[in-house]
Amino acid sequence: MGKPPNLYAFQGTNELAQSLRAYVLEAQNSALSRHQVFRVAVSGGSLPKVLGQALLRETTGEGSVQFDKWEIFFADERAVPLDHEDSNYKLVKDEILDKAPAELGKPKVHPIDVKYLDDVQELADQYEQTLVNTFASRDSVRLPMFDLLLLGCGPDGHTCSLFPGSPLLRENEAWVLPISDSPKPPPKRITLSLPVVTHGIKIAFVATGGGKKDIMKQIFDTDEGRQLPCGLVNAQAQEKVSWFVDYPAIEGVSFPARRGSL
């Protein structure tokens, strides 16, 4: 038995962003000392905005963001053009890339290949190929290992585009999966598989606001919640997982949270 996931709770988004920054920089620095590159996967939803607040704020001595050493991938993406309002790429571009000062350098970003928008299976296969090209061949690597995955938690307990009860949760072969009937619009998406998510070196969730308290209670305090996609990540990746939440999101949660700091 490993240790349980870490649950860090903050008064507000400002404090949360400050600690998230320190956490991401630690992951960045340890990845750079291991292999000179920092490979990160990010989700959509509210995450890119908070991540932007974390990365683009003044440093308080914990070092600097070295975007020129970053490779950014999408933990899930909607099958829409890259300039579409629903695009997670556009969200990351608007909230982080376009706002970053030039001195932080430019990350290498891996968006979906929009040539394949009409065929989600092909879109997923092509994105998997992007991972194969980055993490070496599928024959030599059983699973790609991201240095960090930054994820959100939906009100139903979904993460990436892995939804509760989906047969995709049992996938243990493909790295990237197509979805054509997502319960959260838009219906057509691709997502990393659960084994790829839990194989990451570190996995962080960001969940804020009172709208998350019921699902947080389920995930952390009940056996049924441990079967939800976010609960499965907790159970399988254990202490590799850190949750960054605000107080309203954990109101009534019994699982012990460390308040106010990492």
The reply to whether 95 sits near ligand 6PG by the rule CB under 6 A is: no
The reply to whether 160 sits near ligand 6PG by the rule CB under 6 A is: yes
C-alpha torsion angle, residues 44, 122, 115, 117 (rounded to 10): -50
**In the numeric block, which tokens belong to residue 248?**
């309203």
Which of these segments, 132-140, 148-156, 166-174, 225-233, binds ligand 6PG (CB under 6 A)?
148-156
Nearer to ligand 6PG, 153 or 176 (CB): 153
φ/ψ (deg, to 5) at 2: -85, -175
Indicate if the alpha-carbon torsion angle 179, 183, 187, 189 is positive or negative.
negative
Residue of 152, 157, 200, 231 interacting with ligand 6PG (CB under 6 A) = 152
Per-residue contact track with ligand 6PG, 226 to 245, x per CB under 6 A? Answer: --------------------
Query: Percentages helix, strand, coil for the chain, rounded to the nearest 5?
Result: 40, 20, 40
Nearer to ligand 6PG, 3 or 163 (CB): 163
The reply to whether 225 sits near ligand 6PG by the rule CB under 6 A is: no
Q: Across-strand partners of 149?
A: 41, 203
Nearer to ligand 6PG, 5 or 152 (CB): 152
**In the numeric block, which tokens belong to residue 226?**
């441990």
Q: For the CB of residue 177, give the shortest distance to ligand 6PG in the complex, in Å.
A: 13
Contact 104, 67 (CB under 8 A): yes
CA distances from 199 to 145, 172, 176, 192 (A): 6, 12, 14, 11
Q: Name the pairing type of β-strands 70-74 and 108-109.
A: parallel
The reply to whether 246 sits near ligand 6PG by the rule CB under 6 A is: no
**In the numeric block, which tokens belong to residue 69?**
């050493």
The reply to whether 43 sits near ligand 6PG by the rule CB under 6 A is: yes
Q: For the CB of residue 145, give the shortest distance to ligand 6PG in the complex, in Å.
A: 20
The residues binding ligand 6PG (CB under 6 A) are 43-47, 76, 88, 152-154, 158-161, 184
